[in-house]
Structure 1
Amino acid sequence: MKKLRIGVIGAGANTRLRHIPGFKEIEGVSVDVVCNRSEGSSRSVADAFDIPRIAKDWKEVVADPEIDAICIGTWPYLHAEITVAALAAGKHVLTEARMAMNTEEGEAMVEASLNRPELVAQIVPSPFTLKWDATIKKILASGELGELREVSFTKALGLNVDSKAPLNWRQDRALSGNNTLMLGIYYEVVQRWLGEEPDRLLASGAVFTKQRQKGANGELVEVEIPETIDVIAEYESGLRLVGRMTGLELGSGSDGYVIAGSKGTLRMDLKAGKLSKCLLGGKETVVEPAPEDVADWNVEADFVNSIREGAPIELTNFADGLAYMRFTDAAIKSLAEDSVWVSV
């Protein structure tokens, strides 16, 4: 078995928690070089995970002939540039979510992957519902919920409450692009369950703290990314999607999904870690996934398996990533045009 050598570009929290340890656990896989935002932080990560080399610039990692695959753990602002360069250099790519800054960058990533079909191009998937995804899709396929009428999701955070807090990366368009709070990562799950995209979308949002300090001692800058956003989308079938993302709530907040049909409702409570079902005329009951349907975080192993065995990427391929970028871009466009319906 040929050894697979990984180069890491951007060693943020998820990369340190998941990707580096995940790769190091796989037989015949090594993490050989890391490049973080500074030489000092690169050295710190290398020492912590026994990575033999550091690079001062991400382009060094992409050009390194000893590296077979690139793991991108930066914020979205570099995902497209690194991905396109890495694929052109003959490297497999695993990039952290969100896919890119906007649809245009996502399209460039898709084009680069199509130009090198022999290479694996994967995006880190939305992980929150992995345990229940197969069960939910089976229930939807069975038709027991009847005609689907509405799917909704809600995520409440306290991220933007403190007006004195500096600009966080999710509010910084230069780092995050059109990605808004966790809208894309929650919509990705709906897309996974339904297997289709909505036709049109309307969004309403607000920024209450109009200016924030950029960096600990930086200048005041205008806040462009909404602190709270509500989205309504409509599908060709008449199904509605209603999403609420807010960074304005302190306390326990709400976190989950509801799928409502003409004969029943599924409720996914992510805070409680519980899926429940209520059919017309019956009582609400907890749904426990069958053991064979339970999935968990397997991102690094899936990536390696696709490289070694040619297994197709399901969580998440570039086509699905581009679809959720279209959704988030449509939300920003609707907001910019005073909350009008726009095509997805």
Structure 2
Amino acid sequence: MDKVRLGYIGAGNFSRNKILPNFQALENVDLVAVSNSSEESSQKVQEQFGFSRIEKNWSNILESNDIDAVVIGTRTDKHYEMSIPALKTGKHVLVLNAMTRTVTEAKEMLSVSNENSHLVSLIYPGQFYVQEDAIFKRILDSGKIGKIQHIIDYWYTPFFGLGSQFEVINRIFGDQVRLFANRTSFQQESTNTDHHGRSVRPESNTVLAQRQDGSLVSYFHSTVAGSSQHSRIEVYGSEGVVVCGSFQDHSYIKIGGTKDENLEDVLIDTDLKPLWDNGDSILVEKNFIEAITSNQKPSSSIPLFSDGLKLLEFATAWKESNDNGVWVDLPNQ
């Protein structure tokens, strides 16, 4: 296949600002049809990005013979009912995060994806630590910090973001086998607002997870840090430590041995330097198209449907642990 004929369902702000411009820039993509929640909205997207036509009913995109792949950019509660028929009608699928609402739905989506393994099924990743991903992995693979003992993930947002934290840790470090969770709300007046201008409930979320080899992952999330927030990932190994984070719009990766007094900036390998210097990240859209046209394996930074299921299983276990105050085993996949 030389050119991928693309259909788009639900082109919201993120789709229009990021995803569609990236697809539009690819020479081997033909933007065929778009279907938004209203005809007026669909027409605006058509005019902005040059889609050949609009469809009033999203199901027409799935049934069209002139469409090879579908991007599902709707609300999460629509992903399940759209993804399965898309795969069953022979369409490659890229669905926005989160994959769906429940573990049951995710299992069925994964099952249909596996039954149609000749099709590409991907989830658009969260936009966190994507720039640092390959650099971080290379440091870990080099063995410079020895055997991993404890991973600590600090994150501060005005919304509960455990899913995004898990996605990052899972793609870099792999599976976790059990967890213990606690969520504490504070009885104080909120001084923060989210991006919609709504008052933020002051709370702290803590999760302690264990990996198969016995090493630990600690997730710390707060909604109340405000402008003092300092999100970062710290990895402690038998021979040293790596710290990757961002503070006041400055990103960094530092490393040090167990006997070093200070951490030093990591020297970025030449082939990975553009990722760091230019702030480039994995181009999801290009990966999706190349996986279709050339059978190229997508970047490991882009979640598969199996990864989406793991995230929902983690979230379900978090709720059970938080509600009952117990350790909860994660399903063995």
TM-score, normalised to structure 2's length? 0.85
Q: Pick the aligned partner of 1:242 from 218, 237, 247.
A: 218
Describe the shift of the 1:191–1:6 C-alpha distance in structure 2 as closer, same or farther (beyond 3 A).
same
Is the contact between residue 150 and residue 241 of structure 1 (CA under 8 Å) also seen in structure 2?
A: yes
Q: Pick the aligned partner of 1:298 from 264, 273, 283.
A: 283
Q: Is 2:171 the partner of 1:192?
A: yes
| Rounded Cα–Cα distance in structure 1 between residues aligned with 2:203 and 2:41 | 30
Q: Pick the aligned partner of 2:240 from 264, 274, 279.
A: 264
Give the drift of 1:232.
0.9
Deviations 1:242-287 (A, max 9, x none): 1122333432422121111232111111342111112112221111
Aligned to 2:39: 39
Deviating more after overlay: 277-286 vs 136-145: 136-145
Is the contact between residue 158 and residue 251 of structure 1 (CA under 8 Å) also seen in structure 2?
A: no
| Rounded Cα–Cα distance in structure 2 between residues aligned with 1:312 and 1:327 | 26
Deviations 1:89-121 (A, max 9, x none): 110001111222132222111101111111111
Is the contact between residue 96 and residue 123 of structure 1 (CA under 8 Å) also seen in structure 2?
A: yes
| Rounded Cα–Cα distance in structure 2 between residues aligned with 1:72 and 1:255 | 30
Describe the shift of the 1:230–1:290 C-alpha distance in structure 2 as closer, same or farther (beyond 3 A).
same
Give the drift of 1:184.
1.7
Deviations 1:52-87 (A, max 9, x none): 322223222212222111011122212222111100
Correspondence 1:67-106 to 2 at 5 A:
67-106=67-106
| Rounded Cα–Cα distance in structure 1 between residues aligned with 2:179 and 2:242 | 23
Secondary structure of 1:273's counterpart equals strand
Q: Pick the aligned partner of 1:311 from 296, 317, 325.
A: 296
Is the contact between residue 6 and residue 70 of structure 2 (CA under 8 Å) also seen in structure 1?
A: yes
Identity %: 30
Structure 2: tracts of 5 or more residues without a match: 188-195, 276-280
Is the contact between residue 205 and residue 226 of structure 1 (CA under 8 Å) also seen in structure 2?
A: no
Is the contact between residue 132 and residue 293 of structure 1 (CA under 8 Å) also seen in structure 2?
A: no
Describe the shift of the 1:334–1:126 C-alpha distance in structure 2 as closer, same or farther (beyond 3 A).
same
| Rounded Cα–Cα distance in structure 1 between residues aligned with 2:138 and 2:242 | 12
| Rounded Cα–Cα distance in structure 1 between residues aligned with 2:75 and 2:173 | 28
Give the drift of 1:206.
4.2
| Rounded Cα–Cα distance in structure 2 between residues aligned with 1:55 and 1:33 | 7
Deviations 1:133-164 (A, max 9, x none): 223222222322123221111221235xxxxx
Deviations 1:187-245 (A, max 9, x none): 222122223x1121111114569xxxxxx9xxxxxx9x996422111123221111122
| Rounded Cα–Cα distance in structure 1 between residues aligned with 2:64 and 2:72 | 15
Q: Which of structure 1's runs of 4+ aligned residues deviate more than 4 A? A: 206-209, 225-228
Is the contact between residue 9 and residue 73 of structure 2 (CA under 8 Å) also seen in structure 1?
A: yes
| Rounded Cα–Cα distance in structure 2 between residues aligned with 1:332 and 1:55 | 39
Describe the shift of the 1:226–1:85 C-alpha distance in structure 2 as closer, same or farther (beyond 3 A).
farther
Aligned to 1:60: 60
Two-structure CA RMSD over aligned residues (Å): 2.4
Is the contact between residue 127 and residue 297 of structure 1 (CA under 8 Å) also seen in structure 2?
A: no
Give the drift of 1:11.
1.3
| Rounded Cα–Cα distance in structure 1 between residues aligned with 2:203 and 2:106 | 24
Secondary structure of 2:176's counterpart equals coil
| Rounded Cα–Cα distance in structure 2 between residues aligned with 1:47 and 1:238 | 54
| Rounded Cα–Cα distance in structure 2 between residues aligned with 1:131 and 1:141 | 17
| Rounded Cα–Cα distance in structure 2 between residues aligned with 1:156 and 1:61 | 39
Q: Is 2:23 the partner of 1:23?
A: yes
TM-score, normalised to structure 1's length? 0.82
Secondary structure of 2:152's counterpart equals strand
| Rounded Cα–Cα distance in structure 2 between residues aligned with 1:304 and 1:259 | 34
Q: Is 2:317 the partner of 1:330?
A: yes
Structure 1: tracts of 5 or more residues without a match: 160-180, 210-215, 217-222
Secondary structure of 2:117's counterpart equals coil
Describe the shift of the 1:37–1:192 C-alpha distance in structure 2 as closer, same or farther (beyond 3 A).
same
Is the contact between residue 199 and residue 236 of structure 1 (CA under 8 Å) also seen in structure 2?
A: yes
Secondary structure of 1:137's counterpart equals helix
Deviating more after overlay: 234-243 vs 56-65: 56-65
